[in-house]
Amino acid sequence: MISDYFFVSNVCTGDFMNRFYNLQKWSPFDASATDAYDFMFLMEHINEIDFSKYQIIPYEQVKVINKGYIWSGANKRLGVNNLNTFALLYDKKLEVYYRHYELTQENLDKIMRRTQRFNSGTRTPFFIFHVSPGMRKILTRDEMDQLAKMFNDIKLENKLIVSGDIQCLRYVRGQKYKIFTTEHHE
């Protein structure tokens, strides 16, 4: 049953899916982004990360910003100043960028409440790796192949790779996990 899960993604796709299925507010990863390699680490080690231990990373030092993965145009519509956004480094192991939140105590409290729900273990994470347009611009074919192999090798049943670009599908075609694309191709 879908209500047994919540979606976790390396970009906002998980947040959109949680909203669509009315599962929002169960994950500290809503409206966030992670580096592709950090997301693979999260998938493999989610039960080993202490999410109650974190440090704040200012916008200028956020990994996904510095790599150029993130397009920030949406924040203009949301009234969020990109320079006031932040990341949290959980347990000195995993950096999560809260791209649509400004650094305020209210927003930190909101993320911590979601972390407590997440840690309760009452729902199972369903991981969505979204090959975003920003990633496709920056990563080489070899890096994409490496990420697809890493994704495939992670021993989880609840995972999905999403791409709107047929070029990215060739890296995952023929694997045992499901493939979803936002475009139709022959």
> Does residue 186 fall inside a structural domain?
no
pLDDT band at residue 70 using 50, 70 and 90 as cut-offs: low
% the chain with pLDDT above 70: 77
Which of the two residues, 76 and 38, has the higher pLDDT score? 38
The tokens 């670009």 sit on which residue?
165
pLDDT value, residue 21: 84
pLDDT value, residue 131: 80
Q: How many CB atoms lie within 10 A of CB 101?
A: 21
Burial of 18 (0-12, 13-18, 19+ CB in 10 A): buried
> Which of 39, 35, 41, 36 shows the shortest CA–CA distance to 8?
39
Expressed as residue numbers, the domain containing 137 is 2-181
Domain count, the chain: 1
> Does residue 143 fall inside a structural domain?
yes
* 90 backbone dihedrals φ, ψ, rounded to 5°: -85, 125
> Does residue 167 fall inside a structural domain?
yes
